[in-house]
């Protein structure tokens, strides 16, 4: 994974979109600005927090640069997930209630375009690494030992959740196979 992203250029200057300058974005800019993604692999680089919440607000090039740290954190079990690799944006239910249909479609389309712009920066090798990552995560989910007490108490819930996770990974893997074919480098 590290070798696939070794030549990814480090972002310079502003890493947050110009339209996003809330207090949280300023904190992310200060925290990530000027750092190499390998910095976040060290134990205690930021306590128990990971990059997962911060990577979603980055411009395309910084997202590309910091992605390997997030994937490695996730594999190590330091948090992380697959939402940042999903081409279909997830919208929070609380926000859905406040938006009319036109606002919702506009926001969803902007988010989808941002994700596709990010994904377009990845090389074929990086797409293959993401496929291996998703395969590993799917196997980890399938082989995960849920607490015996919960599994025994709610067997249908955990069986349904595992099936849902398997379907999610299958769809994501297929998307990334197509993304690899479309990648130019």
The predicted-structure confidence for 71-112, as pLDDT tens digits, reads as follows 888 887 754 456 666 655 444 444 445 556 666 567 677 777
Does any domain span residue 100? Answer: no
Tally of structural domains, the chain: 1
Token pair 């929070």 is at which residue? 92
Query: Burial letters for 133-164: b for 16+ Cβ neighbours within 10 Å, e otherwise?
Result: bbeebbeebeeeeeeeeeeeeeeeebeeeeee
In a domain, 5, yes or no: yes
Tell me if 160 is assigned to some domain. Answer: no
Q: Domain for residue 35, yes or no?
A: yes
Domain for residue 74, yes or no? Answer: yes
In a domain, 54, yes or no: yes
How far, rounded to the nearest angstrom, does the alpha carbon of residue 115 sit from its chain's CA centroid?
Answer: 10
**CA–CA–CA angle 183, 87, 163 (5° rounding):** 115
| Structural domain of 80 | 1-85
* pLDDT tens readout for residues 112-146: 788 888 888 999 999 999 999 888 888 776 665 44
Residue 22 belongs to a domain: yes
57 within 8 A of 28, measured Cβ to Cβ: yes
Distance CA 114, CA 58 (A): 10
- Examine residue 47 and state whether it is found in any structural domain, yes or no: yes
Q: For the whole model, what pTM was predicted?
A: 0.74
Measured CA to CA, the distance from residue 31 to residue 77 in angstroms comes to 22
């Amino acid at each position: 994974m590290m070798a696939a992203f070794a030549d990814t250029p480090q972002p310079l200057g502003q890493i947050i979109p110009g339209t996003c300058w809330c207090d949280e974005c300023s904190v992310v800019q200060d925290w990530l600005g000027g750092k190499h993604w390998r910095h976040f692999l060290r134990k205690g680089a930021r306590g128990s927090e990971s990059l997962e919440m911060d990577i979603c607000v980055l411009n395309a090039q910084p997202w590309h640069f910091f992605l390997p740290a997030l994937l490695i954190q996730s594999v190590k079990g330091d948090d992380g997930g697959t939402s940042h690799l999903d081409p279909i944006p997830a919208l929070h239910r609380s926000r859905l209630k406040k938006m009319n249909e036109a606002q919702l479609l506009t926001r969803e389309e902007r988010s989808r375009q941002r994700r596709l712009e990010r994904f377009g920066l990845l090389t074929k090798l990086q797409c293959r690494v993401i496929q291996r990552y998703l395969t590993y995560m799917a196997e980890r989910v399938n082989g995960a030992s849920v607490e015996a007490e919960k599994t025994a108490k709610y067997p249908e819930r955990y069986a349904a959740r595992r099936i849902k996770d398997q379907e999610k990974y299958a769809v994501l893997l297929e998307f990334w196979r197509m993304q690899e074919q479309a990648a130019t480098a």
